[in-house]
Amino acid sequence: MESGISFYPAIPVIGGENGKFARVPSLKYLNRLHKRNEFLIDSHHPLRETLMMQTGRNEKERRAYLQGMYRLAKNHLIFEWETELKGKVLF
């Protein structure tokens, strides 16, 4: 496992300087993550309570939480990553 600089010393950066962990995901993935989380919360999935406790009690709080974390990461990790689309996008 290749390590790099981490903002949290106990957590190694996987993938090295040029790995995806040294970059922020494209904004479209943040939107997909939000949609996925809302789907899980609305479906009363077992992760529902965990997602709500970690990101917010309502949709507005959860969206703000994700946007805040994205801004924080973007301020520290300047580069974005993106993948090639394969298959149907579900979330």
pLDDT digits (tens, 9 = 90+) for 73-82: 888 876 677 7
Task: Give the count of domains, the chain.
Answer: 1
12 occurs within a structural domain: no
33 occurs within a structural domain: yes
72 occurs within a structural domain: yes
**Cβ atoms within 10 A of the Cβ of 32, count?**
15
Strands annotated E in the chain: 24-25, 80-81
38 occurs within a structural domain: yes
- Name the packing angle between helices 27-42 and 59-76 (round to 10°): 150
The pLDDT score that the predictor gives to residue 11 is: 43
Yes or no: say if 34 and 46 are a contact pair by the CB < 8 Å rule.
no
> What is the residue range of 51's domain?
24-81
60 occurs within a structural domain: yes
The pLDDT score that the predictor gives to residue 10 is: 43
86 occurs within a structural domain: no
- Whether pTM > 0.75 for this model: the answer is no
3 occurs within a structural domain: no
